[in-house]
Chain A
C-alpha cells in the first residue's frame, strides 16, 4: 500500500488530526509520535486537516412552553452559522429552529416554537457537516395560567377567615409564593399549596381603609412560573349617613 493510501485510511477513522489511529485499532497516535506535517502523496509534506465536531454542554432555559421561545445553547466548536434542529424522540419528528444567531464558537441563540409538550433532543450541525445530537435536554410543557382575577375585592378590617383562594392551572402541580413583601403587613397568610389567603385579623393594627397590592408567583413542577399582581382592600366601615329630622 502506498503511504498516501495508508494515511487516507487512518483519517477515515479519526475525528481530528490529533486523534489519528492505526488501522489495526491499536493506540492512537499523538502529536508526540505523529508529526503535525504529514507526508504528501507524492512524498512531500501535506498540510494537516483538522476538523472539529460541535458539542453541547447546556441550554437556558431548559424548559419552555408552547409559545415561541428563545434559547441560549452553550457548548463548543460552533461554526457560523450552524443548523439547529430538535427531535421529539417519542415521535421521531424533527423541528427546525425559527432562527439561529451565532454569538461565538461557544454560544448560540436559538428561537423555536414547539407546540407539542415533550422531552426534546437538540442537534447542531456546523456548515462543514460535523454535528452533535444531545440527550433529552429540552422540556416543553405548559406554564401556569392564572385563573383568579387581579382584584380580590374588599373585606372588613379585622375580618377573620379566608379572604380568597388563588388558583392557577398547569399540566403539573402548582405552588404559590409571594414575590413582594406585602402580605405580612396586611396580616395575611398564603398557603403555598392551596393558594388560600387567610387572616385572623385582616389589616392587623391598621384602622384605616387600605388597598394592599402584592404579586404572587405560581410555579409548576417544571419550575415554570406565572406572576400576577393582586389587590385586596380593607374597609373600616361607613363614615356617615343621613339624619332624618
Chain B
C-alpha cells in the first residue's frame, strides 16, 4: 500500500471558505493522484477532493451520495516529473459569482483555461469543515488512488480564501518562488505540514498534526528551491518500474532496461551513489546525448542489449557482478576493468568530470585503483566517444534487480544513509565522502 496522510478534525471549520497550497513533484503521468481529499461512506458517500486525474488535469470535485456534483477542472496537463508544481486551490462558495467560488493556480498563475466549470452553488458545503470526515493527503478515500512523489510546504487555511501570491512570489528573473513563511490565518482546522522535510507535525501553531498511513514517508532534500535528479520515468524504458519518488528503478525480465536522470549537464563535476538489490548485472554509469536522443530506448521491448547502456552508443557503464568487473563504452566492452566485484547491497560510487570526461567508479567508500576524482588521478576511464553533451547518470536493471539511487537526497529507497560522509559543496547528503570539487546533481548543484 502506498503512503498517505490522515487527520480527522475535532472541531468544525468552514465548509465554504478555505485554501489549499502545496509544492508537488510528480513521479509519473497518466496516473490518478490525490493531493487532498475528505469524505466518508456512511450514511452515504460524500466526498470532496483535489486530484490530478489520469488525464493529468487537476480538478476539484465534490460528490454527494457518490454522484459527482461539482467539477472544476483545469485544461492544463501536468506532465512534468522533473520539477515542482506550486498548486493552490482557493474555495469560497459564498461568492455571488460562480467563477469566483473555486480558483486554481499553477506556479502563481490563475488558471483561466478550464475544461470543466461545474462550480459549487452559492454557499454549498465542501465538507472540509466537517468533524466526522477524515481528511487525507495522498489518497482518495475508499479508493486506491494515491499520490506518490514529493510534497513540500503544504498549507491549508480554514476560513480564508487566499491567492497564490500569498504563498509565492516572482524573483528578479521572473521565477515563481516559495514564501516559506506566508502571512496567512490558518483558522480552526488549518495546518502547515511537510515544511522542509517529512514531518507531519503541524507548523501553523494549531497543533493539527497528521498521521502517516499505508507506507513510509521519508525526508528528502528534494524541494522547489533545490530540485534533485531522480530516474526519469518519461525517458527511460517504459518497461521499468519506478518507486520511492523515482529514486528506485527495477525491471523484472532478462536483458537490461535503462533508466536515466531527470537532470543533465554539459560541464562540471557530479557525484552519485547507487545501491543494487536483487539480481546481478545492474549497470551503472553515465549516458550522454547520443544515447538520450535515441527514442528507441523508451519503447524497446525486445530482449537485446541494443537499447540499453551495455550495448548502445553514448554511455560509459560498469557492470556490477560478482564475476564481472567490466566497463562498457559506447556499446562494447572496453577491456578495462575496475578492481572490485560487486554484490547485492554494495554501494557503487560514480564521479564524473564532464570537462575532462573522466569517470571514476568505486565501491563502499573506496575508489577503484586508488583513483582520486578530487585530483583527477587514476580515473577508471576517460571517455572520448560519441556523446558530447547532456550527460546524466544512468542505470540498467534486469531480472528483478533494483537500483536505489542516492542523487543526494540522503536515501537509498526508504533507508537513510547510515553515516553521511563529508561534502564540501554543501549540496546533498551521501553515504561516503563527496570528492572535493564534486557535488550532487540538483538544480543547486548545476549552479555551483
Q: Which residues of A contact B (CB under 8 A)?
A: 153-160, 200-202, 235-245
Contacts and interface: CB of A to CB of B under 8 A. Distances in A.
A235 to B, nearest CB: 5
27 contacts: A156-B179, A159-B177, A202-B171, A235-B179, A237-B180, A237-B224, A237-B226, A238-B225, A239-B197, A239-B221, A239-B223, A240-B221, A241-B150, A241-B153, A241-B197, A241-B198, A242-B200, A242-B218, A242-B219, A243-B218, A243-B222, A244-B3, A244-B138, A245-B2, A245-B216, A245-B218, A245-B413
Contacts of A202: 171-172
Interface stretch (B141-149, B347-355, B417-425): B141-149
A201 B173 CA distance: 9
B178 to A, nearest CB: 5
Interface in B389-448: 409, 411, 413-414
A154 to B, nearest CB: 5
Contacts, number: 130
A interface majority secondary structure: loop
Contacts of A243: 149-150, 198, 217-220, 222, 244-245, 409, 411
A156 B169 contact: yes
A241 B151 contact: yes
B interface majority secondary structure: loop
B170 A159 contact: yes
A238 B196 contact: yes
Interface string B196-228: 111110000000000000011111111111100
Given A154-B180, A243-B218, A243-B220, A238 B153 contact: yes
Contact of B172 (A153, A201, A241): A201
B42 interface: no
Closest 5 pairs between A and B when the two form their complex, measured CB to CB: A237-B225, A241-B152, A242-B198, A160-B172, A158-B171
Contacts of B218: 242-243, 245
A200 B172 contact: yes
B188 interface: no
Nearest to A201: B172
A160 B175 CA distance: 11
B181 interface: yes
Given A156-B169, A158-B172, A240 B23 contact: no
